[in-house]
């Protein structure tokens, strides 16, 4: 650690910092449930339990009509439907995968944000040559929407049809209306070869899946404070915004509301423009609202370098913070307190 009061390099400082978040309610391990995958291609998979929770949200959003459709959809997931000549064999590949990002996921996310500027469709049809002409059609909630332009089409296959194209929101709309979309890709040159698959678009999808509550219930983080201590309720005590290098633990306390139980809040610490990766802390909440806190500290014989710091609170891996607060470490700051 530097003795001249300057913040050291990211790796040197980050390796000496530890952090932790105490939960606002009872904790419990939340095991991840991975969907079952059947062997063979194209893959058939079950949508995750998160989609089941989203059905209730859709009932509020769309008066129950779309929720019924999604419930029926989940009971019998529409895996990619393949049409091919009778001579096709077990190694035939016909696949569509969708994502709001230009990088191909595996598999299609359970829910795609309806606010996305474009939804990318990745395709692979092993019985078509790489330069085969293609035609795409799509449906929304079972209603045909006509031909789908192959916008920003990129072919990547060398020995068969593989590539990616972009799907824009319906004409005249800034976002994709919520619901189930189906896309069919075929080739005029090979009428017997086609593939059809679906995706679900919802508003605030990423926040819902991370535990951000229902679309009409905003997630709020407020009362973010740095302090030398914390009460049994998780509220700050000895609030301060300037700390001595030997302050011991520096707490970040905040209140939140609008979370879905099981949602994830992440606290990040920064020295200047450098994030202290080792200090990042995660909190899986068990209540829709409450208090939570994390802390920043070095080993017993270490001192925090003087300078400007910042603490931010995020929903899951969202880059945009829900709340942020700056503080300083300097020789004339508040004295330290033990853990």
Name the domain boundary from 151, 176, 203.
203
Same domain, 137 and 174: yes
Q: Which domain holds residue 225?
A: 10-29+210-329
| Token reading at 98 | 């969708």
Same domain, 169 and 222: no
Nearby residues of 251 by Cβ (< 8 Å), 6 or more positions away: 226, 227, 228, 229, 230, 236, 293, 294, 295
Asked whether residue 84 is domain-assigned, the answer is yes
Asked whether residue 156 is domain-assigned, the answer is yes
Q: CA triplet 166, 316, 255: central angle to 5 degrees?
A: 135
Same domain, 97 and 162: yes
> What is the full DSSP assignment across 51-90?
HHHHHHHHHHHHTTHHHHHHHHHHHS--PPEEE--TT--T
Same domain, 84 and 197: yes
Asked whether residue 291 is domain-assigned, the answer is yes
Q: Where are the alpha helices (DSSP H) in 194-309?
A: 205-209
Asked whether residue 53 is domain-assigned, the answer is no
User: How many domains are contained in the chain?
Assistant: 2
pLDDT tens for the chain, 339 residues long, are 444 444 444 444 544 444 444 444 444 444 443 433 433 344 434 444 444 445 444 444 444 333 333 333 333 334 444 444 444 444 688 999 999 899 998 888 888 888 888 999 999 999 999 999 999 999 999 999 999 999 999 999 999 999 999 999 998 898 899 889 999 999 999 988 999 999 988 876 656 655 555 544 678 899 999 999 999 888 999 999 999 998 888 999 999 988 877 778 999 999 998 999 889 998 888 888 899 999 998 777 788 899 999 999 998 888 889 999 999 999 887 776 544
CA atoms of 111 and 297, how far apart (whole Å): 38
3-state secondary structure of 11: helix
Name the domain boundary from 171, 203, 235.
203
The CATH number of residue 141's host domain is 2.60.40.10
Asked whether residue 286 is domain-assigned, the answer is yes
Asked whether residue 46 is domain-assigned, the answer is no
Residue pair 306/5 in contact (Cβ under 8 Å)? The answer is yes
Classify residue 309 by burial, with Cβ atoms within 10 Å: 0-12, 13-18, 19+: buried
Name the domain boundary from 184, 203, 222.
203
Same domain, 168 and 249: no
For residues 126-165, one letter each, b for 16 or more C-beta atoms within 10 angstroms of the residue's C-beta and e for the rest, the string is: bbbeeebebebbbbbbeeeeeebebeeeeeebeeebbbbb
């Amino acid at each position: 650690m530097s003795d001249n009061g300057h913040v050291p390099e990211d790796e040197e400082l980050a390796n000496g910092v530890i952090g932790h978040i105490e939960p606002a309610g009872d904790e419990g391990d939340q095991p991840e449930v991975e969907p079952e995958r059947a062997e063979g291609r194209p893959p058939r998979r079950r949508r995750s339990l998160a989609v089941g929770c989203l059905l209730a949200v859709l009932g509020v959003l769309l008066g129950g009509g779309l929720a019924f459709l999604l419930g029926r959809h989940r009971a019998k997931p529409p895996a990619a439907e393949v049409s091919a000549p009778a001579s096709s064999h077990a190694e035939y590949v016909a696949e569509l995968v969708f994502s709001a990002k230009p990088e191909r996921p595996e598999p299609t996310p359970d829910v795609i944000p309806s606010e996305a500027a474009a939804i990318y469709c990745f395709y692979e049809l092993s019985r078509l040559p790489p330069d085969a002409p293609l035609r795409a059609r799509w449906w929304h909630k079972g209603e045909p929407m006509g031909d789908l332009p192959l916008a920003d089409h990129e072919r990547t296959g060398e020995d068969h049809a593989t590539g990616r194209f972009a799907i824009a929101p319906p004409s005249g709309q800034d976002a994709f209306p919520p619901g189930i979309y189906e896309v069919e890709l075929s080739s005029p040159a090979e009428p017997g070869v086609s593939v059809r698959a679906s995706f679900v678009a919802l508003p605030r999808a990423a926040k819902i899946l991370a535990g951000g509550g229902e679309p009409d219930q905003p997630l709020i983080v407020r009362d973010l404070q740095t302090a030398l201590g914390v009460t049994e309720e998780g509220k700050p005590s000895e609030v301060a915004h300037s700390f001595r290098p030997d302050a011991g633990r520096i707490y970040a306390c905040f209140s939140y509301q609008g979370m879905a139980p099981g949602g994830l809040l992440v606290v990040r610490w920064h020295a200047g423009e450098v994030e202290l990766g080792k200090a990042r802390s995660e909190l899986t909440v068990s209540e829709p609202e409450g208090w939570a806190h994390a802390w920043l500290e070095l080993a017993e014989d270490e001192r925090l370098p003087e300078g400007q710091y910042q603490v931010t609170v995020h929903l899951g891996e969202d880059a945009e913070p829900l709340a942020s607060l700056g503080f300083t470490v300097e020789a004339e700051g508040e004295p330290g307190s033990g853990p």
